[in-house]
Amino acid sequence: MTASAYALGNARRGPEYRDALARIREWVRARFKLDADDVVTANEIECSLPGCPPLETVIAFWTADGQRRHYKIFKPASEVLEDDLPPSWMKDALIVVEGFECSCC
């Protein structure tokens, strides 16, 4: 998907969708005590694999040390609650090790 197609897809989902993603990013930033310069992304993706929920919320963040962390919440962004986020003590367990490849984030 191109960047412009991605942006158009988000725009069609409406302000509630964008508000849900913004709320999730704020929760992630607070939960993991991220700096203002740390990058946080939250996106809703469709999964076509058997047994996979139809919509998942994928969250990734990069810290000043250059490490990327990511995880999925197996529900649409509009249904994600703050309690769905991993506990803060799991921050280092979310680090993506070098050479790990995934198609979600």
Mean pLDDT calculated for residue range 53-67 = 92
**Is 47 contained in some domain?**
yes
Judge if pTM exceeds 0.75. yes
With the CA atoms of 68, 16, 11 and 32 taken in that order, what torsion angle do they form, in degrees rounded to the nearest 10?
-10
Is 56 inside a domain boundary?
yes
Domains: count for the chain: 1
Q: What is the side-by-side order of every strand in the sheet holding 39-46? A: 39-46, 55-62, 68-73
43: containing domain: 3-94
Q: How far apart are CA 96 and CA 19, in angstroms?
A: 27
Query: Does residue 53 belong to any structural domain of this protein?
Result: yes
Q: Which tens digit of pLDDT belongs to each residue from 70-80?
A: 999 999 999 99
Residue 59 pLDDT > 50: yes
